[in-house]
Amino acid sequence: MTRVQADILTVHVPFSIHKRGGRKEIVLPVGAPNQRPRIDSSLIKALARAFRWQRMLESGEFATIGDLAAREGIAPSYMTRIMRLTLLPPEMVEAILDGRQGAEVTLAGVLEGAAAEWVGKQASKA
């Protein structure tokens, strides 16, 4: 009886795994082919809420953030933190909505002030 030894093929796939919001996400290196946009639904939801609340306040429907927060059933401090997202540069909002914001941009990071770092990085690319 003859033994046939199979050739060994090793495939290297460069990626990293990041934990985001309790889920694990595979992150491909920059420039990898077939890279889909990374849509961050929690960040997009927060942006939508922030701009909606801003419209409601500007229209005069609610006189104060406290009144609006009471109607929405949330804490006024949370509402003011989320409403800071309306101050982001339009380029960053557009990048978030398109899924081009990069893995380092998270809702928690943006609320803590990481947006300023992102803007600085984008300015240096131009």
Q: Which amino acid is at 12?
A: H
Are 94 and 122 within 8 A, CB to CB? no
Cα 83 to Cα 40: distance, rounded to the nearest angstrom = 18
Element (H, E) at 70: helix 65-72
The confidence score (pLDDT) of residue 83 equals 94
The confidence score (pLDDT) of residue 35 equals 63
> With a cut of 50, which residues of the chain have pLDDT below it?
1
SS3 106: coil
Q: Enumerate the domain spans of the chain.
A: 40-125
Are 105 and 114 within 8 A, CB to CB? yes
The confidence score (pLDDT) of residue 117 equals 56
The confidence score (pLDDT) of residue 108 equals 85
Cα 95 to Cα 12: distance, rounded to the nearest angstrom = 30
